[in-house]
Protein backbone atom coordinates (compact mmCIF):
# COMPACT_ATOMS: atom_id res chain seq x y z
CA UNK A 1 0.00 0.00 0.00
CA UNK A 2 1.36 3.44 -0.93
CA UNK A 3 2.01 5.85 1.91
CA UNK A 4 1.78 8.80 -0.50
CA UNK A 5 -1.32 10.42 0.93
CA UNK A 6 -1.77 14.03 2.13
CA UNK A 7 -2.70 12.72 5.61
CA UNK A 8 0.76 11.12 5.86
CA UNK A 9 2.76 14.30 5.16
CA UNK A 10 5.18 14.60 8.09
CA UNK A 11 7.74 17.09 6.80
CA UNK A 12 8.24 19.74 4.13
CA UNK A 13 11.35 21.77 3.28
CA UNK A 14 13.23 23.46 0.47
CA UNK A 15 16.73 22.38 -0.55
CA UNK A 16 18.90 25.28 0.65
CA UNK A 17 22.47 26.14 -0.46
CA UNK A 18 23.93 25.18 2.95
CA UNK A 19 22.63 21.61 2.52
CA UNK A 20 24.40 20.83 -0.78
CA UNK A 21 27.23 18.32 -1.29
CA UNK A 22 30.27 18.58 -3.58
CA UNK A 23 28.08 17.70 -6.59
CA UNK A 24 25.65 20.55 -5.98
CA UNK A 25 22.84 18.22 -4.93
CA UNK A 26 21.30 17.61 -1.50
CA UNK A 27 23.80 16.16 1.01
CA UNK A 28 22.76 12.68 2.14
CA UNK A 29 23.29 13.61 5.80
CA UNK A 30 20.82 16.47 5.45
CA UNK A 31 18.26 14.10 3.93
CA UNK A 32 18.84 11.66 6.82
CA UNK A 33 18.13 14.49 9.27
CA UNK A 34 14.90 15.30 7.41
CA UNK A 35 13.88 11.62 7.49
CA UNK A 36 14.63 11.42 11.23
CA UNK A 37 12.55 14.53 11.96
CA UNK A 38 9.66 13.24 9.86
CA UNK A 39 9.74 9.82 11.53
CA UNK A 40 9.95 11.34 15.01
CA UNK A 41 6.87 13.49 14.31
CA UNK A 42 4.92 10.39 13.17
CA UNK A 43 6.05 8.37 16.24
CA UNK A 44 5.31 11.23 18.64
CA UNK A 45 1.82 11.61 17.23
CA UNK A 46 1.20 7.86 17.56
CA UNK A 47 2.54 7.51 21.12
CA UNK A 48 1.63 10.96 22.44
CA UNK A 49 5.06 11.08 24.04
CA UNK A 50 8.64 12.04 23.38
CA UNK A 51 10.62 9.52 21.36
CA UNK A 52 14.20 8.40 20.74
CA UNK A 53 15.49 7.09 17.41
CA UNK A 54 17.02 3.62 18.05
CA UNK A 55 17.51 2.31 14.53
CA UNK A 56 17.43 3.28 10.89
CA UNK A 57 17.13 -0.11 9.26
CA UNK A 58 17.57 1.14 5.74
CA UNK A 59 18.06 4.34 3.79
CA UNK A 60 17.95 4.38 0.01
CA UNK A 61 18.63 7.39 -2.20
CA UNK A 62 17.25 6.59 -5.66
CA UNK A 63 17.41 10.13 -7.11
CA UNK A 64 19.24 13.37 -6.19
CA UNK A 65 17.39 16.45 -4.99
CA UNK A 66 18.47 19.82 -6.41
CA UNK A 67 18.76 23.38 -5.12
CA UNK A 68 15.29 24.94 -4.63
CA UNK A 69 13.50 21.60 -5.00
CA UNK A 70 10.80 21.06 -2.42
CA UNK A 71 11.09 17.94 -0.28
CA UNK A 72 7.92 16.28 1.00
CA UNK A 73 8.26 13.33 3.36
CA UNK A 74 5.39 10.92 3.89
CA UNK A 75 5.48 8.71 6.97
CA UNK A 76 3.33 5.95 8.39
CA UNK A 77 3.65 3.66 11.44
CA UNK A 78 4.09 0.16 10.01
CA UNK A 79 4.58 -1.77 13.28
CA UNK A 80 3.93 -1.12 16.97
CA UNK A 81 5.68 -3.06 19.77
CA UNK A 82 5.44 -2.53 23.51
CA UNK A 83 7.60 0.62 23.55
CA UNK A 84 8.81 0.77 19.95
CA UNK A 85 7.31 1.96 16.68
CA UNK A 86 8.59 1.27 13.17
CA UNK A 87 7.93 4.10 10.73
CA UNK A 88 8.03 3.76 6.93
CA UNK A 89 9.28 6.96 5.27
CA UNK A 90 9.32 8.17 1.67
CA UNK A 91 10.85 11.50 0.55
CA UNK A 92 9.76 13.07 -2.73
CA UNK A 93 11.62 15.87 -4.49
CA UNK A 94 9.70 18.28 -6.69
CA UNK A 95 10.98 20.93 -9.09
CA UNK A 96 8.82 23.98 -8.27
CA UNK A 97 9.01 25.29 -11.87
CA UNK A 98 8.31 22.16 -13.91
CA UNK A 99 6.42 20.16 -11.27
CA UNK A 100 8.65 17.15 -12.02
CA UNK A 101 8.37 14.81 -9.02
CA UNK A 102 10.13 11.59 -8.00
CA UNK A 103 11.17 9.56 -4.98
CA UNK A 104 14.49 10.89 -3.66
CA UNK A 105 14.87 8.75 -0.50
CA UNK A 106 13.19 5.94 1.40
CA UNK A 107 13.82 4.68 4.91
CA UNK A 108 12.50 2.57 7.74
CA UNK A 109 13.20 3.95 11.21
CA UNK A 110 12.48 2.61 14.70
CA UNK A 111 11.56 4.95 17.56
CA UNK A 112 11.07 4.21 21.26
CA UNK A 113 8.54 6.09 23.37
CA UNK A 114 10.32 7.55 26.40
CA UNK A 115 9.23 9.01 29.74
CA UNK A 116 10.58 12.11 31.47
CA UNK A 117 13.63 10.11 32.63
CA UNK A 118 14.43 9.16 29.00
CA UNK A 119 13.48 5.52 29.74
CA UNK A 120 11.24 3.41 27.48
CA UNK A 121 7.56 3.38 28.34
CA UNK A 122 4.57 1.78 26.62
CA UNK A 123 3.29 3.25 23.37
CA UNK A 124 -0.28 2.47 24.49
CA UNK A 125 -0.59 3.45 28.15
Interaction site with ligand COA (CB under 6 A): 52-55, 81-84, 110, 112, 114, 120
Write the DSSP assignment of 42-92 as a string of letters: HHHHHHTSEEEEEEEEEEE--S--BTT-EEEEEEEEEEE-SSEEEEEEEEE
The rounded distance, in Å, linking the Cα atoms of 47 and 49 is 5
Q: How far is CA 29 from the centre of its chain?
A: 12
Taking the complex as a whole, the smallest distance from the CB of residue 28 to ligand COA amounts, in Å, to 18
Q: Of the two residues 65 and 123, which places its CB atom closer to ligand COA in the complex?
A: 123
Residue 33 backbone phi and psi in degrees, to 5:
-65, -40
Which residue, 72 or 86, has its beta carbon nearer to ligand COA?
A: 86
Nearer to ligand COA, 2 or 57 (CB): 57
Is residue 67 a contact partner of residue 21, using CB atoms and an 8 Å limit? Answer: no
- Nearest approach in angstroms of CB 124 to ligand COA is 11
The residue number with the shortest CB distance to ligand COA is 81
37 three-class SS: helix
CB of 33 to ligand COA, least distance (A): 11
- CB-nearer residue toward ligand COA: 96 or 122: 122
Amino acid sequence: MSIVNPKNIAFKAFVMPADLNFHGTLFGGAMLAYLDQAGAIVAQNRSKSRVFLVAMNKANFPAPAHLNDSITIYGEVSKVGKTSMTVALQAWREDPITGEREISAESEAVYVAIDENLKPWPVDR
